[in-house]
Structure formats: structure tokens, C-alpha cells
Amino acid sequence: MTKPRLSIELTQEQADKLKRLFPHGTKKIVFGLIVDDLLDILSTHGAGKVIGAFIHRQITLADLLSMREVKDGDDTRP
């Protein structure tokens, strides 16, 4: 049984920046965490509403991150 995968097309510029900015072996970890947080946000605030606002650039990734509910004692951000 194969593990589910997420495959998306990138522009060459996006691919070059990812390669340059992400240390080797960190993309899987970071993008897995982003997916987990995004799923929490979509579940809490309504998938259609959040996805629509994000696609139409009414909100950004930074806005989405601020929407994430921080569990007691789970906030390690400065």
C-alpha cells in the first residue's frame, strides 16, 4: 500500500526558491505541518469560506496562521 501524496505544479521560480530556501529534507516536514494546520483552520472556520477568501487573495497565509486556534500551552511562537 502506497502512502497518499500531494503533487502540485510549480513555476520554475517557485521551484528554485524552494530549493534555495529549504534545507535538505525539511520540505516534507514543513509542508506536512502546513497541511495539518490548514485542515484545522478549514474545520474550525468553514472550508468553503476560507478557501474562497484565500483563492481571491482576501486573506493570506499569514492571516490563515493567525486563525489557527492555539491549544493551552501549545504556543511556541514568540
Q: What is the rounded CA–CA span in Å between residue 19 and residue 35?
A: 20
pLDDT tens digit sequence for 28-67: 999 999 899 889 889 988 899 999 998 999 989 888 778 7
User: What is residue 73's predicted lDDT score, i.e. its pLDDT?
Assistant: 47
Q: CB-based contacts of 69: which residues, under 8 Å, 6+ apart?
A: 40, 44
Label residue 1 exposed, middle or buried (CB < 10 Å: 0-12, 13-18, 19+): exposed
| DSSP state, residue 78 | -
Sign of CA dihedral 34, 36, 39, 43: negative
What is the Cα gyration radius of the chain? 15
Whether residue 78 is predicted with pLDDT greater than 50 in this model: the reply is no
User: What's the whole-number mean pLDDT along residues 5-29?
Assistant: 94
Q: Is residue 14 predicted with pLDDT exceeding 90?
A: yes
Asked if the model's pLDDT at residue 26 lies above 70, the reply is yes
